[in-house]
Structure 1
């Protein structure tokens, strides 16, 4: 944590205060910040560096883009409370103008997402036609997770961010992780559309997640595992992130013989059976808590829920 003097020096500039206010509402790229602030990207980058050095913002590279979110110092409640409690008529005028331009950024993201889905609608529809409706799958997800709070949610292979959209109300925070910068931009359009300050989106690999050991309470892998070259390693890595009593929910296809999906849609695995998933859960220190099968169409959708075994933590500590 930086010294208080460094934090307040970093905030002693109207533009940097505006940047913190904007990042409280949603993650933004440097280019989007420049658009909202009406300043050049080099100038905004200099302000961002000062904020980052004071741990007031985080920078993450995704392809050729750099996305920004609040740093740990800016997440400290007393600091934000002090900013909120300071009445400044001039600052309020900036906030109104910034809010209007931020709405335009959100609209641009939504427009880009809609264009992408319109372009690729036939591909998604071809797969969806083979199995039960997504609404039925999502209903099963909610039912299997039950009414208990989800705590810290991690969505691996978040894609368009639909799982975060579905589950965020029951989580204290959510992190969506995906390798594809393009998919993350689509997810941001969905997650930021209504303003979701408790949700983060990060570029990362399912085999090396940007999540600390025990940093998650609920992990979801939704229709991703069939793309994995090493599904056992992906489940092991997901298990690493789970805290005490943490749960891992996998939603994917039951084993099938539709080989066309390998060629047409780059599926590496043609579904999974219970024995495979249970073995991988056991290796990751999880026990199979529940399963659900949704038949309909040519493909069967399966849900597997694993839970951290308390003794696995003890064994790891002894080792």
Structure 2
């Protein structure tokens, strides 16, 4: 019967050596390494970190005996151990092999295990570790769920260090805060604004449930003083005087399905650009300017479905790509790119049948305060 490699008395092995090997008297060290089972155990532990049960299987010895041998070698400062739930994994302490006696014992153990095929069987033991995992995923694993994974924030947090500019993001027209689940794990700070307090209450509840602790909610217009003050706070500066522009700005400003609700789309676009970080001025004769903050506008292509005016209070029936580009250029964006999005990315709302487009552009040098 196969021995369970992981059901073992974890209390028999500590997680660190009790003393350095050089503190052991020579006669005690010779006595400790005179046992052939211990020598072979060292040979295996030098080749791979193995559980007590795995060592017992490889050496064809009982687990209690292997545990006692491992405890003695740990006490002598030759083996290291770490716990993994109910597992206790053993490995050779590389510092111990600086002692010529220990080094000789390890080499002798490896030669013995190689001669009788035990060393080669390590691969079989390691393969058995994930047998249940392989079987689980061979059956199909968990059922496929539609939509983004619930652990999306963890994936985004892993990607965040790869992005160069992520100090601050602005979510203009945050609504119930769905986009905050993407922005909060990536950016150091997020300012989310909406002019409807009822929507911000929904966003606040989402923040509480999803632990989005780096977001400030602001009730106001895109070009209102409230959001200007919030951006200044997030950047650690003082708010500008009335009529003065921000001294800095957001690295990214998002407006997801906002523009078609704006009474004056050109004014709204200019306000979005004013919230972005301006491009750096040129240095000397260098005509190139560092990119300013990005502005990302997600909206519909022009369509002929008037029902959205009734269902969603839309003012405009989308924008042609040419019109959207013109609005962006007149607002001071450069390097503009526009792309259509796959319909599969458009959710299940009443606007899912429309063509969605995404515009991304970068703010140029400061052009002055927003004037309307």
2:321 aligned with 1:274: yes
Partner of 1:293: 340
- Asked if structure 2 preserves the Cα contact closer than 8 Å seen for 1:281 and 1:288, the reply is no
Aligned mates of 1:264, 1:183 — CA distance in 2: 17
Alpha-carbon distance, 1:215 to partner: 2.5
- Secondary structure at 1:171's aligned position in 2? coil
Aligned mates of 1:166, 1:278 — CA distance in 2: 25
What is the TM-score with the length of structure 2 in the denominator? 0.43
Alpha-carbon distance, 1:316 to partner: 4.4
Change (3 A) 1:225 1:259: same
Q: By percentage of residues, which structure has more helix?
A: 1
Alpha-carbon distance, 1:150 to partner: 2.8
Aligned mates of 1:295, 1:302 — CA distance in 2: 9
- Secondary structure at 2:184's aligned position in 1? helix
Aligned mates of 1:276, 1:304 — CA distance in 2: 11
Partner of 1:305: 360
Aligned mates of 2:336, 2:309 — CA distance in 1: 30
- Asked if structure 1 preserves the Cα contact closer than 8 Å seen for 2:171 and 2:191, the reply is yes
Alpha-carbon distance, 1:187 to partner: 0.1
Q: How does 1:55-66 map to 2 (within 5 A)?
A: none
Aligned mate of 1:216, from 247, 250, 258: 250
Aligned mates of 1:194, 1:263 — CA distance in 2: 32
Aligned mates of 1:290, 1:253 — CA distance in 2: 15
State the structure with more CA Rg.
2
- Secondary structure at 2:193's aligned position in 1? strand
Which structure 2 segments of 5+ residues have no match? 1-145, 233-245, 279-291, 344-351
- Secondary structure at 1:281's aligned position in 2? helix
Change (3 A) 1:272 1:157: same
Q: How does 1:109-258 map to 2 (within 5 A)?
A: 147-208=163-224, 210-211=227-228, 212=232, 213=246, 214-244=248-278, 245-258=292-305
Q: How well do the aligned residues superpose, as a CA RMSD in angstroms?
A: 2.7
Aligned mates of 1:279, 1:149 — CA distance in 2: 26
Alpha-carbon distance, 1:199 to partner: 0.8
What is the TM-score with the length of structure 1 in the denominator? 0.50
Which structure 1 segments of 5+ residues have no match? 1-132
Alpha-carbon distance, 1:200 to partner: 0.6
Q: Indicate the structure whose relative CO is greater, using CA pairs within 8 Å and at least 6 residues apart.
A: 1
Aligned mates of 1:194, 1:299 — CA distance in 2: 30
- Asked if structure 2 preserves the Cα contact closer than 8 Å seen for 1:218 and 1:247, the reply is yes
- Secondary structure at 1:272's aligned position in 2? coil
Q: How does 1:69-108 map to 2 (within 5 A)?
A: none
Change (3 A) 1:295 1:194: closer
Aligned mates of 1:285, 1:219 — CA distance in 2: 14
Partner of 1:33: none
Aligned mates of 1:239, 1:207 — CA distance in 2: 10
Change (3 A) 1:257 1:307: same
- Asked if structure 2 preserves the Cα contact closer than 8 Å seen for 1:151 and 1:218, the reply is no
Aligned mates of 1:169, 1:298 — CA distance in 2: 30
